[in-house]
Amino acid sequence: MIKRIFDFVVSFVLLFVIALPVLLIAIAIKVNSKGPVIHWSQRVGRRNNVFSMPKFRSMKTDTPQVATHLLSTSQNYVTSVGAFLRKSSLDELPQLWSVLVGDMSFVGPRPALFNQDDLIALRTENGVDALRPGITGWAQVNGRDELSIPVKVQFDKEYLENRSFWFDLKIMVLTVLKVFMREGIHH
């Protein structure tokens, strides 16, 4: 309950704080390419319920709905503004909305795409599906895109077994450091 209150209050405040940068990013996306500013992705959340997760659109509108690492030529689908947004993780800012409404938390396993059956099954088998997905998580700060699915789920399970306010705080600090150092990002 305390985690949910923290998520709600902090996301509410941050949405006001980042309003101007969000507006500038939206304008840059609109000027750079055709299509919507926000991409709503179908994701698997707590108890394997599917929800719509917003991200700033960083890909062209004809991009297939699969995990980026499954695209053989993913760079051909990324817009020029999108490349910057992805490397800086600014494409994730609209997920504050998902935290505010309770679909996500600041910290938890990253929400799987609706068609990542192997990841969803392994998380369910390990009880990780009981967690609210997060903007960042223990797996993200330990390798992000470099991790295989079984290793990612092991980190998710470790988070499940050890979660606490202090662990969440540690993950958030490590996330900020990783983003500034651009570690573990390959798309």
Region 107-120: mean pLDDT is 94
Single pTM value for the model: 0.85
pLDDT band per the 50, 70, 90 thresholds, residue 121: very high
> Would 157 be classed as within a structural domain?
yes
Domain that holds residue 103: 2-181
C-alpha to C-alpha distance for 136 and 112, rounded to whole angstroms = 13
pLDDT at 187: 47
Cβ(145)–Cβ(185) below 8 Å: yes
C-alpha to C-alpha distance for 8 and 84, rounded to whole angstroms = 28
Q: What is the pLDDT of residues 31-53, one digit of tens each?
A: 998 899 999 999 999 999 999 99
> Would 187 be classed as within a structural domain?
no
| Domains identified in the chain, total number | 1
Q: What is the pLDDT of residues 156-179, one digit of tens each?
A: 999 999 999 999 999 999 998 888
107-145 core/surface letters (b: 16 or more CB in 10 A; e: else):
bbbbbbbeebeebbebbeebebbebbbbbbbbbbbbebe
C-alpha to C-alpha distance for 25 and 37, rounded to whole angstroms = 9
